[in-house]
Amino acid sequence: MHIVVCIKQVPDSAQIRVHPVTNTIMRQGVPAIVNPYDLFSLEEALRLKDEYGGRVTVLSMGPPQAEAALRKAISFGADDAILVTDRAFAGSDTLATSFALASAIQKIHEDMPVDIVFAGKQTIDGDTAQVGPGIAKRMDLQLLTYVSSITDLDLENREITLHRRAEGGVQVLKTSLPCLITMLEGTNEMRFATLPNMFRAARYPLKQWDKDAAGITDVSKIGLKGSPTIVSKVFAPQPKTIPAEIIDCESKQPKDLAVTLLAKMFTKFPNLHEDIAKANA
Amino acid sequence: MSEETEKDAPKKPAGRRKFELDPRLASYKGVWVFVEHERGVAHTVSWELMGEGRKLADKLGVPLAGVVMGAPGIQTRRFCEEAFHYGADLCYLMEDPLMADYRNQPFTKGLTDLVNAYQPEILLLGATTLGRDLAGSVATTLQTGLTADCTELNIDMENRSLAATRPTFGGSLLCTIVTLNYRPQMATVRPRVMSLPKPDMTRTGSIVEHALGMTESEIVTKVLEYIPDNLQGKPQLPFADIIVAGGRGMKRPENFQLIWDLAKVLGAEVGATRPIVQAGWVELDRQVGQSGKTVRPKLYIAAGISGAIQHRVGMDASDVIIAINSDPNAPIFDFATYGIVGNAMTILPALTEAFRQQLATLKVAV
């Protein structure tokens, strides 16, 4: 069995700051990490490999420094890693990105047939959740998003059974390989890197593919040209600022502050009485 | 997966020179809203979108349509009626037993076929598990632009294009995205981001039926079972009228009990900021903000929450906000209705007691 896992290197969004004057992202000092959602898919792929054998190839598209993310994946136990990197990809939106990745997976498939493609549910920087479905449609793979568990894999009949989170419930689905799966967060826990794998990751001769190596001939489908969406404006949120009415009283005692607040609030918003009564019912 | 370049500093500002739409795309007219439903109930995000869609359609001077897909029966017709009440002029209805459950393949084909046959210029879907699965598939099949999780939708009147604004980099920045020379222009919006319009029960509209044209043997994925969620005890923040939430200012997990105590007196749901959820003090379903739930309660009590933009985007549509924070310069005091500068650990019990007494007198009065 051959599994491809698509991962992305992202800036740790929890640590991103915006320059107060220029409204641009201050990248200095913000650590680059493997998109956390991708790790649930990578772990699931490694579990399938543990149980059924086979190989796990990790694939990423990004600048040359994204190889750090791929080495991280090798340290967790992935077998091979390919970085698709080319200046021609600059400015790609999700449609162009899914085209480039689908081309690369097709190329990988020609060397060693691919049975399952995993992708993250979404990224923490773009948050679009569109690249997984995009790859599936381009490669005509069965699309299975928000998967919470894989209950059965029948390699002989090439069938897979799994649980998928739907609105208001869980679908138990059975489908055929090849397929593309995005895992729901919190469904598994990434293993620790072993010492031998860490050594292997450090020495691994990582493959870098440019657009030609990834089998891309139609340059109108990648980069800015291949991207229907255009960013027309980037700006810092400027939400309304109507300062709060600060509750104060002579005693400054919590009890008096609370009573003052309630008196003011229920006078100005008498309907809240009814709302609270309703919530309590 | 390199959307990051898309979010970087603007590369080429659009609309600087006069834009001419490809004449082949000029026939794309009208605004569509995909009506999502599960187990016989329409998702309210569809009606929230219908309200937004109405505004866009009016600006463009074009009709607003709902798209209803599902198994034949009285329910699909009822969803069309509801769509009219919430502002649709017409509905495209696709009925087929193959669409009894959501499956990507038939729904992608169905919606793609409808778009190709009737050519809308704008197509909106809810950013739910179903909507995101379907929107990404349909946009790729149609090779058009899709903007996810928008917080504001508008029409750029200069070129009649959809200007879709969305947060990026975890809400630190906003960007406005346009899809100029591709149709339809697609966007998703998360539940509760837009307000629910008032339905007009007298409104009616016309229904256009279209067949799916598929057989079960063509559909690879089979639904073996559907296990409905047990909602008992599950937090339902997006629809709560009252929420008491805590942030890092609560300092220690045991202090969070004060939040629960107040919530109990008010019959409220308990919410939290991302650090609290990450620390495991409360479950993920209680996270409010950019990477959690969007809420619009009547009353939101924020204790020990600084009011960072990532939290604010999820809750600033609340009617009344009470903020308790020891830092008088906390950003939450810039937009809360009422503020108390002080230690949440002493203010919260006092507030709980004051509400308890208030409610007791209320009961006597009734």
Q: Residues A25-38: pLDDT tens digits?
A: 676 778 899 999 99
Higher pLDDT: A118 or B291? It is: A118
Residue A182 is which amino acid?
A: T
> Do B329 and B279 reside in the same domain of the chain?
yes
Residues of A in contact with B227 (CB under 8 A): 169-172
Task: Say yes or no to pLDDT of B16 above 70.
Answer: no
Chain A 237-266, residues with CB within 8 Å of chain B CB atoms: 237, 239-247, 253-255, 257-259, 261-262, 264-266
Residues of B in contact with A13 (CB under 8 A): 169-170, 172
In chain A, what are the domains? 2-221 (3.40.50.620), 240-281 (no CATH)
Residues of B in contact with A272 (CB under 8 A): 298-299, 320
The structure tokens listed for A213 are: 């190596």
Residues of B in contact with A10 (CB under 8 A): 4
ipTM associated with this complex:
0.90
Q: For chain B, what is the mean pLDDT?
A: 91
- A195 contacts: CB under 8 Å, gap ≥ 6: none
Lowest mean pLDDT among A18-22, B71-75, B130-134, B298-302: A18-22
Please indicate, yes or no, if residue B62 is contained in any of the structural domains.
yes
Task: Say yes or no to pLDDT of B325 above 50.
Answer: yes
Domain count, chain B: 2
Please indicate, yes or no, if residue B287 is contained in any of the structural domains.
yes
DSSP state of A14: G
Angle ∠(B18,A238,A236) on CA atoms, nearest 5: 65
> Do B180 and B325 reside in the same domain of the chain?
no
- What would the mean pLDDT of B360-364 be, rounded to a whole number? 70
> Do B279 and B191 reside in the same domain of the chain?
no
Chain A 134-163, residues with CB within 8 Å of chain B CB atoms: 134, 136-138, 142-146, 161
Tokens 């946009």 correspond to B139
> Do B103 and B246 reside in the same domain of the chain?
no
Over the stretch B215-230, which tens digit does the pLDDT of each residue have? Answer: 999 999 999 999 998 8
Residue among A42, A40, A186, A149 at smallest CA distance from B277 = A186
Rounded to whole angstroms, the Cα distance separating B123 from B287 reads 29
Nearest to A91 among B6, B173, B332 (CB): B6
Please indicate, yes or no, if residue B121 is contained in any of the structural domains.
yes
**Among A83, A137, A274, the residue to mutate for chain B (most B Cβ within 10 A):** A137
Most confident of A27-31, A240-244, B241-245: B241-245
Return left, alpha or beta for B15; rule: phi > 0 is left, psi -120 to 50 is alpha, else beta.
left
Chain A 87-106, residues with CB within 8 Å of chain B CB atoms: 89-95, 97-98, 101
pLDDT of the residue at B314: 92
Contact with chain B for residue A231, Cβ under 8 A: yes
Rounded to whole angstroms, the Cα distance separating A45 from A90 reads 29
CATH number at B309 reads 3.40.50.1220
Please indicate, yes or no, if residue B16 is contained in any of the structural domains.
no
CATH number at B207 reads 3.40.50.620
> Do B133 and B59 reside in the same domain of the chain?
yes
pLDDT of the residue at B13: 47
Q: Structural domain of residue B79, as residue ranges? A: 23-218
> Do B255 and B333 reside in the same domain of the chain?
yes
Rounded to whole angstroms, the Cα distance separating B67 from B42 reads 12
> Do B205 and B296 reside in the same domain of the chain?
no
Residue among A67, A101, A65 at smallest CA distance from A83 = A67
Chain A with chain B: Cβ pairs closer than 8 A: 345
Nearest to B346 among A92, A129, A254 (CB): A254
> Do B200 and B258 reside in the same domain of the chain?
no
